[in-house]
């Protein structure tokens, strides 16, 4: 899966095309060409003033300022046994992304979850489903 941007004035436009060229010229460990599927890029989405002022952050965290562009992507989804959980990020593109995912994961139900709050933290659906290491007790 690759985020795809059709807007030539967006910096992501060139980045998407470069990434696609790299992926399409790559093979897996068995020498097979990769099949790349694209998902539309939401937005672009920017941090609102009220959102930035309400964020708690650590000293080591990247600052989130009003007007900063967020790294929004429908590619950050989670695949479960019978479902795909995708972020809902942009009403103008959510259903298009859901349709593409439904076609690629025909045996699973695609569920959309409002995800802007997760995105404000710097990640998304797939990120928050990852393993947490067990703390060592001393």
**Alpha-carbon gap, residue 42 to 89, rounded angstroms:** 6
**Alpha-carbon gap, residue 48 to 62, rounded angstroms:** 16
Cβ–Cβ under 8 Å, residues 41 and 12: yes
16 is catalytic: no
Dihedral Cα 15, 121, 62, 19, nearest 10 deg: -10
Nearest residue to 128 (alpha-carbon basis) of 87, 96, 90, 91: 87
> Omega before 44 cis (within 30°)?
yes
Q: Which of 92, 113, 127, 128 is catalytic?
A: 127
Active site residue ranges: 127
């Amino acid at each position: 899966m690759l985020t795809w941007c059709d807007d030539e004035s967006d910096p992501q436009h060139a980045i998407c095309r470069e990434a696609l060229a790299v992926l399409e010229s790559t093979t897996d460990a068995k020498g097979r060409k990769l099949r790349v599927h694209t998902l539309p890029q939401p937005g672009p989405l920017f941090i609102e003033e009220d959102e930035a002022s309400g964020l708690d952050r650590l000293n080591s965290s990247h600052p989130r300022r009003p007007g900063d562009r967020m790294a929004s992507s429908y590619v950050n989804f989670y695949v479960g046994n019978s479902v795909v959980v995708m972020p809902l990020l942009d009403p103008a593109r959510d259903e298009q992304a859901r349709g593409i995912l439904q076609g690629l994961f025909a045996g699973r139900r695609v569920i959309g979850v409002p995800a802007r709050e997760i995105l404000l933290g710097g990640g998304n659906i797939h990120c928050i489903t990852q393993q947490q290491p067990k703390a060592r007790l001393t």
